[in-house]
Structures are given as C-alpha cells and as structure tokens.
Amino acid sequence: MTTYDDTVRFLYSLGNEVRAAKLGLDRMTVLLESLRSPHRECACVHVAGTNGKGSTCAMIESGLRAAGFRTGLYTSPHLSEPVERIRIAGEPVTREQFAAAFQPVHEAAERLMAEGRLEAHPTYFETVTAMAFLLFRDLGAGIVVLEVGLGGRLDATNVVTPRLAVITAVDFDHEGFLGASLESIAAEKAGILKRGVPAVFAAQRPEAAATLEAHAAALGIEPIHTSVWQVRDLALDRRGSRFLASGPKNLRIDCPLAGEHQVENALTALTALDALGLPPEAVRDGIRQTRWPGRLERVSEAPEIILDGAHNPAGARALARYIERFFAGRRVWLVYGAMRDKAVAEMAGILFPLAHQVILTAPAQARAVRPGLLLELVDHPRIRAVPRLADALDIVRREAAPEDAVFISGSLFLVGEARRYSGASPPW
C-alpha cells in the first residue's frame, strides 16, 4: 500500500497543477470509465467563476450540511495539506483515505498507458479529481459541491451532469489558458452549463454577463440571477456582514466571511441553496457557520495580522476596498509574495499605495517571483525585500507597533505558510 507521503511526492512530481495543466476531458473520461464511472454516482453542485467560487462553495456545502445532507466538498488549491481539497461532512479525508484512493487511480492510469489508451499519466489535478470522485462514492457523500479548477469548459471536473450549475463573478485571471478578453474567459466558465440543468449567475460585468446569457439561451436555460434578492439593512464590519435578503423570501443573513465582496458570494450561495429547495433555517444556519480560512483571516490581534490569498487583480481590488473601509488612519504593513504567472505590477499598483511599509518576500515555491525582481518592478517609498517569509515576519515582530495592521497577501501559498508560522489552528 502506498503511503500518504509517497502519494504526495508522486503527485508533486507530476508538475505544478497550473503550469502542467492539460485542458481537455478525454483523459478524465477514459480514466473514470476504467474506474466504473464514480462521477456518475454523485449528485453535484458545480461551481465556476474567477473570484469567490471557493467561498461560495464553502457556504453552499455548509448550508447543505445544515439541512442534514452528508456532503462532499472539492476545492483547490490547498493551504497546508492536499487532504484539505477533499472533504466529507465538513472534514478533510484522512491521510490514509487519501492514499488509498490514489492507489486505484494510479494503477488504472498505468494500465491505460500500457494499453496505449492514455499518452501520459493524468496531471496532478486530474489525478486528485478522480480520487475525489472515488472517495465521494465510497464514503457515501449524498451531495457534492464541486469547484472548477481552471476555466470550466475543459476543466477536469466538467465530466459531471450536476443538479445545479453556479457561476460566480468572472474577471481576468489565467489569460494564457482562458483568453485575453472577459468574453473569452466567460465563455470558458459557461462551459459548465448543461441543457436541462438549472443555473445560478452572480452579478457580472457587462461583457461577461452578455456571454453567459448567450450560452444559457443557446441551451434553453433561464438562469436564476442573484439580483432576484435585494440587500437591505446591510451592516459591514471587519469580521463579516449582516443583512436582510429580500426576494422570493425574506432571510436574515449573518455572513462570517469578511469583506464587502462576500455579500455577493453569500447571495450566490443563498440563491443556489434556495434553488435546491432547502428550508430557510438551513440556509441561514449554513451561511452563518461557514469557515473559509486564508481569506481575510485574522491570526493575531496586537499587531492585527490578517491573511488574504488575493492572487489576481479582482482579489487585490477586494482587499484594497477592505483596507480602505476598515483601516483608514491605521498604519498598514503589507507583506507580499506572488507567483510568476500573475499580474504582479497591476496588483502592486492597487495594494502598495495603501501600505505604510511594504515587505517583499516569496513563498517556498519554484514558481514564486524572486523578491529582488519584485523590487525592480514596483515602487514605494518604504519598501524592502527579504528572501523568506520567516524573515519578513521577524521584521514585523521587531518593528510593527501593537496598533498597526499587517496584511500578508499575494498568494495562497504564502498564506498557507503564514498560517503555519502564526500557529493558527489547522484550516479544517
């Protein structure tokens, strides 16, 4: 039996899941058929989008669990351990379960390659997606919330015919894979839509909205828009939001996820849960009980240290709005590290002007931008570069005042490392 450590080493040997991505469904279809099609035994809610899809998935899953369902949840990337990606009834699968699911998937891949039916081993993401379907079937998940990894149309998760398709806000990210216009990116996200399957659309920018509507119309789908709900009596603070969602029903929503952008995500989850026929109390309780670490997550109070995995311009804009709304007049530190395939200069232009001090660093990842190179790309009157996050945190401990606010952002990999250094509780 392959151990968990061996499993993870092999998965990482398949290459980075973004750079080594091979968009297309042929490999997944062949692989899953050889495993007796576990994906066909899962009732699914399929969620695509650029930003907010992870938070929305977490809220939908929590609502389903509050209604009494035994749930599955599949998300990516992970913060600390790959087991976080596959959850049953709100808890990550165990290391033993993860390794046990890898064995049949890997053996099937080897057999299919020997038979000439696969030209190469499935990618990291394809392999873990197949493992997730096996675990959801074998561990009895009654309904699964499935987050798209990259795009939608050709993503490995798009082998399912779900009970409901959900598309969160579409924005720019992964243009090298999805195209350079909002229309092309939205078309890829719209690829999860299926004839006869109801769909929920979050509020969209006009170009994305037109593309999504056209795809839905071509399939005979009348999507449910989050705009059927009006937000009234909105109260925002640093730790979440409370509001009355007035629409088909009147629901008091208490969202524990911080940031103004989470109001739309909560509306999207609410709309999805209502479309699935859940009772209002399950919707309310599920959203109120949601946990989604690494997104405006507070891990220290004096100084206040907040982790946020803003890794694209839309995420940076959401973080900037949060800082402007709740930290005006406070001295703000920004510890920043990013991946090479990201719009670093654009994100820096959004975030750096809000910071009194900027510390450039890098997560322990081969794809990370070197802090010295970042220093050449961006400008700030008080900026320095250090090689490791541990060095950046040492500076914060020595120099930040108790009343300061420290934001660690730019990459979920950096956030995952920061959680470990901070002694935060495990993500799940």
Q: Are 287 and 63 in contact (CB under 8 A)?
A: yes
Confidence of residue 366 (pLDDT cuts 50, 70, 90): confident
Percent of all residues in the chain with a pLDDT value above 90, rounded to a whole number? 85
Containing 255, the helix (H) or strand (E) segment is strand 250-255
**pLDDT over 70, % of the chain:** 96
User: What digits encode the pLDDT tens for the residues 50-74?
Assistant: 989 999 999 999 999 999 999 999 9
Q: Is the pLDDT of residue 414 over 90?
A: yes
Cα–Cα dist 193/196, whole Å: 9
The pLDDT of residue 184 is 92
Query: Where are the CATH 3.90.190.20 domain residues in the chain?
Result: 297-422
Side-chain-side CA neighbours of 56 within 13 Å: the count stands at 32
224 vs 151: which has the higher pLDDT: 224
- Beginning with the edge strand found earlier in the chain, give each strand of the sheet holding 297-301 in spatial order: 297-301, 304-308, 405-409, 332-336, 357-360, 383-385
* C-alpha dist (Å) from residue 369 to 140, 237, 337, 364: 42, 33, 7, 10
> In the predicted model, what is the mean pLDDT of the chain?
93
Query: What are the angstrom distances between the C-alpha of 304 and each of 104, 184, 224, 266?
Result: 46, 40, 39, 25
Residue 370 DSSP one-character state: P
Q: What is the CATH number of domain 297-422?
A: 3.90.190.20
pLDDT at 422: 79
What is the per-residue pLDDT for 21? 56
Which CATH number describes the domain made up of 4-288? 3.40.1190.10
- pLDDT per position as a tens digit, 293-302: 999 999 999 9
Q: Read off the pLDDT band of 418 (50, 70, 90).
A: very high
pLDDT at 374 over 90: no
Residues of each domain in the chain carrying CATH 3.40.1190.10? 4-288
How far, in Å, CA of 16 to CA of 174, rounded? Answer: 14
Q: Per-residue pLDDT for 1 more than 80?
A: no
Q: Which two tokens stand for residue 328?
A: 């005006």
pLDDT tens-place string over residues 78-136: 998 999 999 999 999 999 999 999 999 999 999 999 999 999 999 999 999 999 999 99
Q: Are 258 and 307 in contact (CB under 8 A)?
A: no
Q: Is the pLDDT of residue 427 over 60?
A: no
**Average pLDDT in the 218-237 region?**
98
Question: Quick one: pLDDT band at residue 31, thresholds 50, 70, 90?
Answer: very high
Q: What is the mean pLDDT of residues 350-370?
A: 93
222 three-state secondary structure: coil
pLDDT by residue (tens digit) across 305-346?
999 999 889 899 999 999 999 999 999 999 999 988 778 889
Tens digits of residue pLDDT in 383-393 = 999 999 999 99
Helices (H), 139-181: 175-178
List pLDDT tens digits, range 182-192: 999 999 999 99
What local confidence, expressed as pLDDT, does residue 2 receive?
85
| Residue 377 binned pLDDT confidence (cut-offs 50, 70, 90) | confident
pLDDT at 22 over 80: no
Q: What is the pLDDT of residue 177?
A: 65
pLDDT band at 172 (very low <50, low <70, confident <90, very high): confident
Sheet holding 250-255, edge to edge: 230-237, 240-246, 250-255
Give residue 428's pLDDT.
Answer: 47
Comparing 4-18, 197-211, 380-394, which segment has the lowest mean pLDDT?
4-18
Local structure of 254: helix, strand or coil: strand
Helix (H) or strand (E) holding 287: helix 280-288
Residue pair 351/336 in contact (Cβ under 8 Å)? The answer is yes
What is the band of 425 on the pLDDT scale with cuts at 50, 70, 90?
A: low
